[in-house]
């Protein structure tokens, strides 16, 4: 499947966050987006997921016009936001079957590294890092063809970074994945193509040095 963003614009007052942004995301690839805080990375994901409206947009899936507000019902896009979305009162072991109906996919979460150590705890008692790890696993193993990850490595124990990377790489054959995080080296390890978002515009980059060229990283001497 192919998700196309041919034009997307978003303004907050007089400030243009996204200007005629365009990108493509196919199942079978992982695309990284880099940019400073406030550049519009989360805004782009929220618009694609349907929780924020663009001022203008031309979106397509397999060349068919796509209305983001219908994507949840259509089970097209799963989205990991920066802020937690799980009910705090449920135990982890009771929540997993509510999110994932397929037994095999449930087991992929239950038997992921570390889950057995907290599956009897309530969501509200988990540390921020463990909670983010659980949310990542729950969304990763849904059957949605597209997965958007907003800072999946942030606030998480570095020991889990390698696990998350392995899951992302294992999903590449069946999903199109869009990921952004300030752990740029970690993101680069799992992506097949990368963009940098500067002044509202998306630019394709070929090498890590381009992150300095576009001002995301300090220039290297």
Percentage, residues of the chain above pLDDT 70: 97
Q: Which residues pair with 7 in a beta bridge?
A: 58
Residue 14 has pLDDT above 90, yes or no: no
| 189: enclosing H helix or E strand | helix 184-190
Q: Say which residue, 16 or 146, is predicted with more confidence.
A: 146
Is 214 in contact with 203 (CB distance < 8 Å)?
Answer: yes
- Residue 134 to residues 68, 89, 95, Cα–Cα distance (Å): 25, 15, 11
Longest pairwise C-alpha distance within the chain: 53
pLDDT at 116: 96
Rounded average pLDDT over 79-90 = 93
Alpha-carbon distance 53 to 59, whole Å? Answer: 12
Strands (E), 49-153: 56-61, 64-65, 77-80, 146-150
Tell me the per-residue pLDDT of 182-215, one tens digit each, with 9 for 90 and over.
Answer: 999 999 999 999 999 999 899 999 999 999 998 8
Report whether pLDDT(10) > 60.
Answer: yes
Question: Band of the pLDDT at 221, cuts 50, 70, 90?
Answer: very low
Check whether 21 has a pLDDT greater than 80. no
The whole-model pTM stands at: 0.93
User: CA 108 to CA 221: how far, in whole Å?
Assistant: 45
Q: What does the domain layout of the chain look like in residue ranges?
A: 2-213
pLDDT of 20? 78
Q: What is the mean pLDDT of the chain?
A: 92
* Overall fold of domain 2-213: Rossmann fold (3.40.50)
């Amino acid at each position: 499947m192919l998700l196309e963003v041919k034009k997307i614009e978003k303004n907050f007052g007089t400030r243009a966050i996204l200007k005629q942004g365009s990108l493509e995301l196919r199942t079978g690839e992982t695309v990284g987006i880099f940019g400073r805080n406030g550049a519009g990375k989360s805004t782009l994901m929220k618009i694609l997921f349907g929780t924020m409206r663009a001022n203008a947009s031309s979106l397509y899936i397999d060349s068919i016009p796509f209305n983001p507000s219908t994507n949840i019902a259509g089970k097209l896009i799963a989205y990991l936001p920066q802020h937690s979305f799980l009910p705090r009162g449920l135990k982890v072991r009771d929540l997993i079957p509510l999110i994932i109906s397929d037994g095999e996919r449930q087991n992929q979460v239950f038997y992921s590294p570390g889950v057995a150590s907290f599956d009897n705890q309530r969501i509200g008692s988990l540390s921020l890092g463990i909670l983010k790890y659980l949310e990542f696993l729950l969304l990763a193993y849904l059957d949605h063809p597209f997965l958007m990850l907003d800072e999946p490595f942030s606030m998480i124990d570095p020991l889990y970074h390698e696990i998350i990377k392995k899951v992302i790489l294992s999903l590449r054959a069946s999903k199109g994945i869009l990921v952004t995080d300030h752990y740029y080296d970690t993101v680069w390890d799992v992506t097949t193509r990368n963009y940098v978002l500067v002044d509202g515009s998306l630019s394709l980059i070929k090498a890590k040095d381009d992150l300095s060229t576009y001002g995301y990283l300090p220039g290297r001497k």
